[in-house]
Amino acid sequence: MSILVVGSVALDDIETPFGKAKEVLGGSAVYIATACSYFLSPIRLVGVVGGDYPQQAIDFLNNRGVDLEGLQVIEGGKTFRWSGKYHYDLNNRDTLSLNLNVFENFNPVIPESYKKTKYVCLGNIDPTLQKQVLEQVEKPEFVVGDTMNFWIETKRKELLNVIPMFDAFILNDSEARLLANEPNLLRAARKIREMGVKILIIKKGEHGALLFHDETVFSAPAYPLENIFDPTGAGDTFAAGFTAWIAKNDDTSDLNLKKAVIYGSTMASFCVEKVSLDGLRDLSYLKIQDRFRAFKQLSQFED
Amino acid sequence: MSILVVGSVALDDIETPFGKAKEVLGGSAVYIATACSYFLSPIRLVGVVGGDYPQQAIDFLNNRGVDLEGLQVIEGGKTFRWSGKYHYDLNNRDTLSLNLNVFENFNPVIPESYKKTKYVCLGNIDPTLQKQVLEQVEKPEFVVGDTMNFWIETKRKELLNVIPMFDAFILNDSEARLLANEPNLLRAARKIREMGVKILIIKKGEHGALLFHDETVFSAPAYPLENIFDPTGAGDTFAAGFTAWIAKNDDTSDLNLKKAVIYGSTMASFCVEKVSLDGLRDLSYLKIQDRFRAFKQLSQFED
C-alpha cells in the first residue's frame, strides 16, 4: 500500500523557551511523509521547493523511502520559509516571518505514477489546491484532509467545498470552534459533520483527540510528556500516523479507526520531544508499537 | 462500608448563560454526600448551617440516606451563601458575593458514632480544618482530600502540612500548576507527589482527569456532553464518585483506582447536566453503571 502526501515543504526558524534552530526541515508534507515512512512504502510526496533546498534534506527523504518524483524544484526560486516563536507554555506561537517564495504559486501536479495511490493525506494547504489534487487522482480509497485557521478565515467557501471529498477531516479544537462558530466542542463537532464530514477528528493538543464517526465517539488521551521541546509538526505527524495505520491495514472499520487515532497521537508524541523533525529521525516501527502499548496502559481500565 | 464527608453546606445563587437559580442547594459536603449516597450507606455528613437552612434540604438528605448527626445547626445564625456567575464558555466564573455566615467559625466536631468510619472524603475547606477532622477520626483506611486555589494562595503551609495525611489528593489543573509553580502538568504532578502525595488526581474539566500512583499514569476522558448546564459541584461529585467506588469495593488496587476515576468522572458528568444538585436527584445505580459503560465505549480500543 502507498500514500500520496501533498503539502508544504519549508525551511523553518524555530524559537522555543529551550533554544533556537535555524533553517531546519519543515513543512507539512515533510513531516507527514517522514512519519508515514515508518509504517509503509512508498510514500509519494508532492510539493515545491527552490534551488536552495538542501541536498541533505533530499537525501534524508530518499533514505526514508519517500518517492520525490512529485517534488517540483524551481531552480533560481527560494524555498518557503517560516519563522516562529513559541511562548513559555508552548501552547501559543507567534509567526515572526513568513516567506512563501516558490510556495506562493504552488500548483500541485500529480505524476502519472502517483495517480492510482489508494491513500491520500492532504496537509493544510489552500483548500483550492486540495481540491485540485483530488481531481487528479483516480478514485482514491481513503482521503485524509487537514486544514488551519488561516484557510477557515480566508477560504471558507472553498474549504466547505472540499470537505465532503475527504473521508476523514482533521482539525484542532480552536479551528473546530472557529469553523462551526460554536464554543461547545461537541456541538461544534455536530455542526462540522453536517457539512458533509464522514469521519471527524478534533485534536486537542496536550488533551488528546476526539474521533467522530457514525454513532461512535472516541476519546484518545495525549501521551504524558514532561518535556515538550517543539510542537511544530505535531498536527502533521498526527495526520500521518492516522493515515498510515489505516493504509497499512487497509481497514477503515471503527475498531481500526480508533487504533489509527492512537497511532496518530503516538507519532505526534515523538514529534514534539525534539526540535523540528529530529524526533522522527531515529524511530523504528518497534519503538512506535511500544508507545502505542503505553497509550493502552494509559487509558484502558477493567470492566 | 460508610463514608465520612466533611465540607461546606451552602445556599447558592447561580447564574449561567441559560438561566438563574436562587437559593438552591450547594456546598461541597452536600454535593459529595448526595453523590456518594448512590453507591452505599450510611453517608455521614459533618457541616454547619444556620436556622434558615430549609427543612426541605434536610428532608432531601435524609431521604438519600445521609446521616446528619454531624450537621451543626446554629439557630439564629445564617447559612453560608455563595453567588456566582458563569461566563459564556462555562469554564470561568465570577463570585458575585460570598457570605460565610456560620461557616466562618466552622469547627468540625466528629460525632462519636462517626469516629470509626473507614473512608473519609474531605471537601475543599480550610486545610487546618481538614487536619482537625483527621485528628478526630480513628485510623481511617482511606482519606480523600480536595482543595482549591484560595487555600493554595492563603494557607499554603497548612495545606502542605495536611496533604501527606491524605491517601488521595484531588485538585484541578490550574490548582496543580499554582501549587507546583510549574506550567507543565506532568512536571507539576511530579512536584506535588514529592510533597508526600501517594495518589494524585488532577482534574482537567472538559478534558478529563489524570491519575498518578506509583508508576501508574492513567488518563480518563470527560464524558462528551453537548449541553453543560451548570458546572457547580462537578469537582465535589468527582471526589464523591471516586471515594464511593473505592469504599464500596474496599479495594485500593491500581485496577480499582482507575475504575474509581471513571466513576468520579461519571458522577461529575451527571452533575453538570442540570442546575445545582438537580442532576443528582433522580439517579440510580443502574444509570450510573450505564454511563460507566459509556465511558468504556468512549475510551477503549483493541490491541
Q: ipTM score of the complex?
A: 0.89
Whether the predicted pLDDT of B92 surpasses 80: no
Whether the predicted pLDDT of B136 surpasses 80: yes
Whether the predicted pLDDT of B197 surpasses 90: yes
In eight-state DSSP terms, residue B198 is S
Nearest to A302 among B207, B259, B299 (CB): B259
Number of domains chain A is built from: 1
Cell of B130: 481538614
Cα separation, A52 vs A99, whole angstroms: 14
Q: For residue A10, what pLDDT is reported?
A: 97
Residue-number span of the structural domain to which B28 is assigned: 3-299
Residue with cell 485534536: A203
If you average pLDDT over residues B37-62, what whole number do you get? 97
Q: For residue B183, what pLDDT is reported?
A: 86
Whether the predicted pLDDT of B35 surpasses 90: yes
Whether the predicted pLDDT of B163 surpasses 80: yes
E-assigned strand segments in B27-92: 43-50, 66-74, 80-86
Chain A residues within 8 Å of chain B (Cβ atoms): 88-89, 183-187, 190, 204, 206-208, 210, 217-222, 224-228, 255, 258-259, 262, 296, 298-303
Cα separation, A290 vs A287, whole angstroms: 5
CATH of the domain at A226: 3.40.1190.20
User: In degrees, to the nearest 5, what angle opens at C-alpha B31 toward C-alphas B29 and B37?
Assistant: 95
If you average pLDDT over residues B162-187, what whole number do you get? 95
Cα separation, B37 vs B32, whole angstroms: 9
Q: For residue A302, what pLDDT is reported?
A: 84
Whether the predicted pLDDT of A71 surpasses 90: yes
In eight-state DSSP terms, residue A226 is S
Q: For residue A85, what pLDDT is reported?
A: 93
E-assigned strand segments in chain A: 3-6, 10-16, 19-26, 43-50, 66-74, 80-86, 93-99, 119-122, 142-146, 168-172, 199-203, 209-213, 216-220
- Mean model confidence pLDDT for chain B: 95
User: How distant is the Cα of A296 from the closest Cα of chain B, in angstroms?
Assistant: 8
Per-residue pLDDT tens digits for A147-164: 999 999 999 999 999 999
Under a CB-based contact definition with an 8 Å cutoff, are residues A159 and A42 in contact?
no
* Helices A55-63 and A28-36, packing angle to 10 deg: 30
Contact flag B258-A228 (C-beta cutoff 8 Å)? no
Contact flag B204-A207 (C-beta cutoff 8 Å)? yes
Under a CB-based contact definition with an 8 Å cutoff, are residues B47 and B70 in contact?
yes
What are the helix (H) ranges across B6-126? 28-36, 55-63
Residue in A with minimal Cα distance to B224: A186
Whether the predicted pLDDT of B303 surpasses 80: no
Residue in A with minimal Cα distance to B203: A207
- What percent of chain B is modeled with pLDDT above 70? 100
Nearest to A219 among B185, B227, B298 (CB): B298
E-assigned strand segments in chain B: 3-6, 10-16, 19-26, 43-50, 66-74, 80-86, 93-99, 119-122, 142-146, 168-172, 199-203, 209-213, 216-220
Contact flag B302-A190 (C-beta cutoff 8 Å)? no
